[in-house]
Each structure stands twice: as structure tokens, then as C-alpha cells.
Amino acid sequence: MFNKDIVTAFEQKETPFFYYDLALLQATLDRALTEANKYGFHIHYALKANFNERVLRVIQESGIGADCVSGNEVLKAVEVGFAPEKIVFAGVGKADKEILAALDHNIFAFNVESVQELHVIGDLAKRAGKVAKIALRINPNVDAQTHKYITTGLDENKFGIKTWELSDCLDTIKSFDSLELIGLHFHVGSQVVDLNVFKSLCVKVNEFNNWFDERGYRLKVLNVGGGLGVNYTDPDGEPIVDFKRYFEIFDQFLERKGHQEVHFELGRALVSQCGSLISRVLYVKNGIKKNFIILDAGMTELMRPALYQAYHKIERLSSEQHNEGGVGMLTHYDVVGPICESTDCFGKEVELPESKRGDLIAIRTAGAYGEVMASRYNLRNEIRYVYNDEIA
Ligand code: LLP
């Protein structure tokens, strides 16, 4: 993935930093749009996955909409140039100020998560003299077959409206002239790699869609959320996910009523493979039971391994290796960061060429939920980044 010129350029840079390949991002967006356009599907990008300025600009320019989960994300999306009529606002705890900001910008839809939230949005919209467009986020009780921390569509999760609350929702919406129900919203989890999960989701969406239809509601929007998983083990083998198969499933299994639009909220699938965390080996500690590589990047830059035991491919980069045409002897290392926490570990028993202080290490597939989840814990430095066109 990283040719010799890129590695040589990395060698001149201060580490750690996120490297973003905006050309790969563009190619990913092109592929996603080509496949979605076949069926007239609408894509919103989930800003929560990565709101790096340049990444956002490339995505905005592609014409995709935005999926936001905070007032600040709504404001950021507007600032970057996403059309308000393509912005959706989800989130289980929207504060009044955030709702007002979104109303102010006349966004496409609020994905509403409770009866109480309907009352709050209804009241605030009424006072502002606006009509808020609403999609009800229904919790469909579909198991996303992913890590329990990123599962959202089960009864036990805090997200969405439970089925027995739907009549209440409709009564509330009817009681407010300031609320307009435009659709339904679902999101069952993230890093979903078993595509059968999406078939199950479609079956549930069809049931709910019929339920509303039978009651005389002509809903314009079916928003099926995001969640499409990526290949963390082989980022070079599958730099772009199989959008063709993904959208085909929805075309095949989702029963749209003639007038209905289908919307998606993709985060990870669009941005994960274009980002890598580049770091240097600070120390190598050879122990009796274990050998450690201690990096200058830690859980403060990429939290996913510490938080979800997530796997990220770890590679040693070396321009010498390109010259010599080999990698040398392989050794097993626990690759850890410098933070004072035992969970600050990127990988255990990782097979790498014998490494030394100063070697560059790439932690791959870090474009989604990497930089955005960084923290200043241990008073670490602000994140740095490098883009492909700066070193080409
Ligand atoms: N829509 C809603 C309502 C969501 O909650 C999410 C993600 C998405 C869309 C985008 O999902 P994606 O296509 O990226 O899977 N920090 C975790 C992931 C948390 C996902 C939260 N919701 C991780 O690093 O794996």
C-alpha cells in the first residue's frame, strides 16, 4: 500500500500522525454513489466517523448528504457546505439548543428517538414558527451480530422507539401542527459484516412500513441507517467494500411503496480504509515471555483496540526494506502505546520484522472512529495529519 516514496516522506515527518489518502476516499465515494444511484438511493455520510476538515470537504463535494448526531455536527456540516435539505439529525439525547440550531437551518429531518423528544421538538418548533420534519427511529430488535458495544438495534439498547410506543408517537405528532412525519429510521449497529443482518432489517422495515401504510400514512422516507462493515484484516485486498452487494440487498428485500425514497447513513464504509495511523517505535523491550514494541502513538490517538478489543492491521514501514526487497526475520511482539494504562495495546503477538527504535509503524484502517475519538489524556499533543497530495 505505501510505496517507497511515501515511506521516505513519512520518515521526514514528526510522528504520530494520521495519514489520509484522499484519492482512495474519492474512489470509495465514486463506487458507493455509482452503486446507490442504480436504485435512486440517497446516502448521508455519518460525520461521527471522521470530521477532519479535508475529509469532510471531499465528501461534501461528492454531493452526498450528512448524518449528524449533535448540534455541533449539524453546524459543522452546514459550515462545510452540505445542503441543509440533505442533513439528518439523529441522537438519543438532543439538547434544546441543538434542536433549535437544526430548526434554524431547516434540515431535512430529525430522527426522533422517544415520545418525550417529539413533545420537545414540537414545542420548540411551534415557538420558532417552524414545522420540524420527523422520521421515527424505531428499534427493530434485530441482532447486528457485531461487538456488543456497537450494537444498537436490540430491545436492551437505549436507542430508538419501542414498537409499543408507536401509537403514542402518532397521537403526539397529530397534536402538533409543528411536526410533520416524513418517514421511518432504523440503525441496528456498526461494523456489520454478515450481510444477512441487512436482509433481516429489511424484513422488519417492511412490517413497520405496512403498519403505517394500513393506518393511512404515506411516508416518503425509509432511512435504514448505516453499519456496513469493512475488512480490517486485509485493507489492501479490499480497500473498497462491496457496495454493489450491499445496495443490491436493499433493492431486493426492501418493499418500497411507489413514492418512497430509501436513505442510508454510512460512516465507516466510506472513510475507514483511507486513513492510517503512522507512528514510530520508541523502545523495544525483549522479555522472557513477551517482546514489546512501544510506540509513540497510543490509545489517545486510536482508541478502538482498547475500547472494543478491535483488530487493526499493524505493519512496519521501511524504505530500506524496499531497497533490499525483503523484510528480514519475523518476531512476535505485543505492540503497545506510551499511555499509563494496560489497555493501551494495539495488538498482541503481532508478527513483524525484527524492529528497532525509530522504525515506522502503520496501523491500518484507522480512517473511521480514529481521529474523532482521540483524547488529550496524559496531556498528549493535538493530533497531526498528513494528506497524500502533500507528499506526492
Ligand atoms: N447512523 C446512526 C444512527 C449511527 O448511530 C451510526 C453509528 C451510523 C449511522 C454510522 O454507522 P457506520 O456506518 O459508521 O457503522 N466508535 C465505534 C462505532 C460507533 C458507531 C456509532 N453509530 C467503532 O469505533 O467501532
Task: Give the separation between CA 268 and CA 45, rounded to whole angstroms.
Answer: 9
Distance (Å) from CA 67 to ligand 1 centroid: 10
Distance (Å) from CA 228 to ligand 1 centroid: 9
Distance (Å) from CA 265 to ligand 1 centroid: 9
Does the CB atom of residue 267 touch ligand 1 within 6 A?
A: yes
Pocket test for ligand 1, best of 150, 190, 228 (most atoms within 8 A of CB): 190
How many alpha carbons lie under 13 Å from residue 52 in its C-beta half-sphere?
31
Grid cell for residue 386:
498528513
Does the CB atom of residue 88 touch ligand 1 within 6 A?
A: no
- Report pLDDT for 320: 67
4-17+273-391 matches 22-272 in fold: no
**Which DSSP string do the residues of 16-69 spell out, in sequence order?**
SEEEE-HHHHHHHHHHHHHHHHTTT-EEEEEGGG---HHHHHHHHHTT-EEEES
Write the single-letter amino acid at 124.
L
* pLDDT tens, residue by residue, 119-128: 999 999 999 9
Does CATH number 3.30.420.40 belong to domain 4-17+273-391?
Answer: no
Sole residue written with cell 515527518: 13
Q: Which of 310, 285, 317 shows the shortest CA–CA distance to 17?
A: 317
In ligand 1, which atom is closest to the CA atom of 373? 16
Q: Mapped to the 3 state alphabet, what secondary structure does 276-314 carry?
A: EEEEEEEEEEECCCCEEEEECCCCCCCCHHHHHCCCCCE
Q: Which of 207, 253, 247, 214 shows the shortest CA–CA distance to 228?
A: 247
Task: Give the separation between CA 202 and CA 344, rounded to whole angstroms.
Answer: 39
In ligand 1, which atom is closest to the CA atom of 185? 3
Task: Give the separation between CA 350 and CA 362, rounded to whole angstroms.
Answer: 13
Task: Give the separation between CA 207 and CA 299, rounded to whole angstroms.
Answer: 42
Domain range 22-272, CATH class = alpha beta
- Report pLDDT for 285: 93
Provide φ and ψ at 279, rounded to 5°: -140, 165
Task: Give the separation between CA 215 and CA 9, rounded to whole angstroms.
Answer: 62
Q: Which DSSP category does 236 fall into?
A: T
Region of 91 please: left (phi>0), alpha (psi -120 to 50) or beta: left
Q: Which residues of the chain have pLDDT under 50?
A: none
Does the CB atom of residue 204 touch ligand 1 within 6 A?
A: no
Does the CB atom of residue 306 touch ligand 1 within 6 A?
A: no
- Report pLDDT for 53: 96
What residue owns the CA closest to ligand 1's atom 22?
A: 190
Distance (Å) from CA 210 to ligand 1 centroid: 27
What residue owns the CA closest to ligand 1's atom 3?
A: 187
Domain layout of the chain by residue ranges: 4-17+273-391, 22-272
Pocket test for ligand 1, best of 250, 263, 265 (most atoms within 8 A of CB): 265
- Report pLDDT for 154: 64
- Report pLDDT for 140: 83
